[in-house]
């Protein structure tokens, strides 16, 4: 008979591995703009200036850097159409859609958390 102790408490090694995975994931999607760019391109493919207009506040330098980075990580593709003038289209890849669950969970938790913060601010102001 196997006795399961601490079912919900992973051991040290599992935990360290999990942490490593989580930090890897965070490293990739981190930064002020990465997810904004991805979400924007998941909605529809766009050109550089279209992105810059839709993502308010991003500078061309930062956008260019983010796009390079996202292309390297296979989240988006950059296609040059040799029309005149040349047309450059950025598209979200299928791979970027694997983030769906991650984004879903983060969004859900973030919403709950904001509600909680609001609640605790309300109860604090009652105590003033």
Contact footprint for a copy of itself (CB under 8 A): 9-10, 12, 15, 18-26, 28-30, 35-36, 39-40, 42-44, 74, 95, 98-99, 101-114, 116, 120
Strand partners, 91: 77
For residue 20, state whether it binds DNA (rule: CB under 7 A): no
Cα separation, 34 vs 88, in Å, equals 19
Tell me the closest approach of the beta carbon of residue 24 to a copy of itself, in angstroms: 4
What's the rounded Cα separation, in Å, for the pair 87 and 79? 8
CB of 76 to a copy of itself, least distance (A): 15
Which one, of 61, 67, 77, 78, lies nearest residue 37 by Cα? Answer: 67
Looking at the DSSP bridge assignments, the partners of residue 76 are 92
The binder of DNA chosen from 20, 47, 114, 116 (CB under 7 A)? 47
Residue choice 58, 70, 92, 99 for contact with DNA (CB under 7 A): 58
């Amino acid at each position: 008979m196997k006795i399961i102790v601490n079912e919900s408490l992973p051991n040290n090694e599992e935990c360290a591995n999990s942490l490593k995975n989580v930090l890897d994931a965070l490293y990739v999607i981190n930064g002020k703009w990465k997810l904004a760019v991805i979400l924007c391109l998941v909605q529809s493919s766009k050109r550089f200036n279209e992105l810059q207009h839709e993502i308010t506040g991003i500078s061309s330098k930062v956008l260019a850097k983010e796009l390079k980075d996202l292309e390297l990580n296979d989240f988006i593709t950059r296609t040059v159409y040799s029309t005149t003038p040349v047309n450059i289209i950025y598209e979200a890849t299928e791979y970027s859609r694997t983030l769906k669950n991650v984004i879903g969970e983060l969004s859900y938790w973030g919403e709950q958390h904001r509600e909680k913060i609001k609640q605790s601010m309300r109860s604090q102001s009652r105590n003033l």
